[in-house]
């Protein structure tokens, strides 16, 4: 007859002394449960079983004695036995629970992200806001950032590293508070959407218990509790013709000033801003443009990667370059290939150009303290301005739409309609002021 193991008892464990090599005590009360005695004297509960999918013999650690008692070890082994009977592999579940947020984002990027409508934009948000910055990005950031901005960015980068290293099952809404609140208004909503989908994906993988998505639970309970989500406002500001002239005059003189003094702008910043004003192109399109993308004879800039590519607009986008825009490019190609290249050879980032524009707008009085976001002149305002004045000058809507690269003609019309309505309201306010208090 086969030898039957006796149940493990407290006295039996106490009598089990360490040996030169590890050995196991088999529990006769529960099949597969063992207590391993190591040479160091440490006693570890383990459960042996056969994987239901592969038939492979496996062993998982349940805990250590006496922290995990005999009764608790048997109960834990019984839970795993039920999982095996249902066709699940306990080892896979335990490994999944050890997955980190960084591994979740990597898996999300590799398997789930390609199925989305615009994976490139989503990946850019992940890399910019959720992952630590690369050395190259830090170098570009420090070129145009103050000491306070560098200090704040360093603190935020350390928090990103801590969040990415934590287990998916341990992540809580407050872990993402500083990261989300440091982003701009539009980026906050995008990041919350990305994290919500990523954690839901993690639940399907078994990396987190179902129904515990930290982003979903928090936003249902109180969206503003941890994440400051102000009401989204439309940005209707456009520059007047006089303001545009002041901007262009300032850009012409900025490179001639002494570096690191008030009003100085490096030539590649100036060219980028001049092209955005003149063409109405998106900042990313101008900054990623190469000299080889310019058809000098036809005065056309070809944009291979553009925002509306995922909406079915196949092929490169073409931006017509006016005679004045060609004058801005008269110096010709640089050794780096990019039209607006930094001294390192890399293209300017939108963040750096946006900070340079904000300082310029403040200096010219385009932005004043107390202005709402809707009233401020941002970098994207330059694009709005071109569309508005082009339509106001009577240029056909379809031509403006094509040059701006709008997916829908309604977007082009809405920009002009919103800006015109704002100007009419401003004119009405001025007229009411004159009516109340006539000039003497």
Residue 221's H or E segment, with its range, is: helix 214-221
Q: Which of 48-52, 219-223, 232-236 comes out lowest in average pLDDT?
A: 219-223
Whole-angstrom distance, CA of residue 78 vs CA of residue 403? 68
Tell me the pLDDT tens digit for each residue of 365-377. Answer: 888 888 877 788 8
Tokens at 146, concatenated: 């103050």
CA distances to 30, 157, 198, 254, 376 from 193, rounded to whole Å, are: 47, 21, 9, 41, 27
Confidence at residue 433, expressed as pLDDT on a 0 to 100 scale: 43
Residue 423's H or E segment, with its range, is: helix 409-436
DSSP 128: I
pTM: 0.50
Confidence at residue 161, expressed as pLDDT on a 0 to 100 scale: 92
Residue 72's pLDDT band, with cuts at 50, 70 and 90, is: very high
Confidence at residue 221, expressed as pLDDT on a 0 to 100 scale: 45
Whole-angstrom distance, CA of residue 231 vs CA of residue 426? 23
Question: Which of 5-19, 111-125, 377-391 has the highest average model confidence (pLDDT)?
Answer: 5-19
Backbone angles phi, psi at 295, to 5 degrees: -95, 95
Tell me the pLDDT tens digit for each residue of 249-306. Answer: 888 887 777 777 777 788 888 888 988 888 888 888 888 888 888 888 888 888 765 5
- Nearest-5° angle of CA 264, CA 266, CA 269? 110
User: 262 CB contacts (<8 Å, ≥6 apart)?
Assistant: 363
Q: Looking at the domain covering 241-431, what would its CATH class be?
A: mainly alpha
Query: What is the four-CA torsion angle of 372, 195, 149, 138, rounded to 10 degrees?
Result: -140
Burial class (CB in 10 A: 0-12, 13-18, 19+), 398: exposed
Closest CA to 61 of 88, 42, 87, 39: 42
Give yes or no for a contact between 89 and 52, defined as CB atoms under 8 angstroms apart: yes
Residue 390's H or E segment, with its range, is: helix 381-392
Q: What are the domain boundaries of the chain? A: 10-94, 101-226, 241-431
Residue 224's pLDDT band, with cuts at 50, 70 and 90, is: very low
Look at the domain 10-94 and name its fold.
Double Stranded RNA Binding Domain (3.30.160)
Give yes or no for a contact between 132 and 225, defined as CB atoms under 8 angstroms apart: no
pLDDT at residue 155 tops 70: yes
């Amino acid at each position: 007859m086969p030898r039957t193991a006796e149940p493990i008892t407290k006295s039996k464990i106490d009598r089990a002394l360490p040996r030169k090599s590890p050995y196991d005590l088999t529990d006769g009360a529960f099949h597969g449960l063992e207590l391993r005695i190591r040479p160091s004297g440490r006693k570890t509960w383990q459960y042996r079983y056969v994987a239901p999918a592969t038939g492979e013999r496996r062993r998982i650690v349940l805990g250590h004695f006496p922290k995990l008692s005999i009764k608790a070890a048997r109960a834990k082994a019984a839970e795993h036995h039920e999982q095996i009977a249902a066709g699940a592999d306990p080892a896979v579940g335990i490994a999944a629970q050890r997955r980190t947020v960084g591994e979740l984002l990597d898996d999300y990027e590799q398997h789930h992200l390609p199925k989305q409508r615009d994976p490139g934009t989503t990946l850019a948000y992940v890399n910019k806001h959720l992952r630590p910055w690369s050395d190259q990005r830090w170098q570009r950031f420090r070129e145009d950032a103050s000491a306070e901005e560098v200090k704040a960015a360093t603190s935020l980068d350390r928090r990103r590293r801590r969040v990415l290293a934590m287990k998916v099952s341990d992540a809580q809404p407050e872990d993402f508070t500083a990261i989300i609140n440091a982003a701009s208004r539009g980026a906050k909503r995008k990041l919350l959407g990305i994290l919500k989908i990523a954690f839901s994906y993690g639940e399907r993988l078994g990396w987190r218990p179902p129904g515990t998505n930290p982003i979903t639970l928090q936003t249902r309970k109180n969206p503003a509790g941890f994440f400051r989500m102000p009401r989204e406002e439309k940005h209707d500001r456009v520059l007047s013709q006089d303001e545009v002239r002041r901007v262009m005059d300032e850009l012409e003189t900025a490179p001639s000033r002494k570096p690191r003094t008030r009003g100085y702008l490096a030539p590649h910043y100036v060219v980028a801003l001049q092209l955005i004003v003149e063409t109405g192109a998106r900042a990313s399109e101008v900054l990623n443009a190469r000299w080889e993308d310019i058809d000098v004879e036809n005065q056309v800039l070809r944009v291979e990667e553009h925002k509306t590519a995922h909406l079915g607009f196949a092929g490169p986008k073409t931006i017509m370059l006016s005679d004045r825009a060609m004058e801005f490019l008269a110096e010709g190609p640089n050794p780096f290939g990019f039209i607006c290249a930094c001294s390192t050879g890399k293209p300017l980032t939108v963040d750096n150009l946006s900070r340079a524009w904000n300082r310029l707008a403040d200096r010219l009085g385009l932005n004043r303290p107390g202005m709402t976001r809707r009233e401020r002149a941002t970098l994207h305002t330059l694009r709005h301005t071109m569309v508005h004045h082009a339509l106001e000058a009577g240029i056909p809507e379809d031509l403006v739409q094509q040059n701006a690269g709008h997916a829908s003609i309604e977007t082009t019309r809405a920009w002009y309609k919103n800006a015109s309505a704002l100007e009419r309201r401003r004119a009405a306010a001025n007229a009411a002021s004159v009516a109340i208090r006539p000039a003497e």
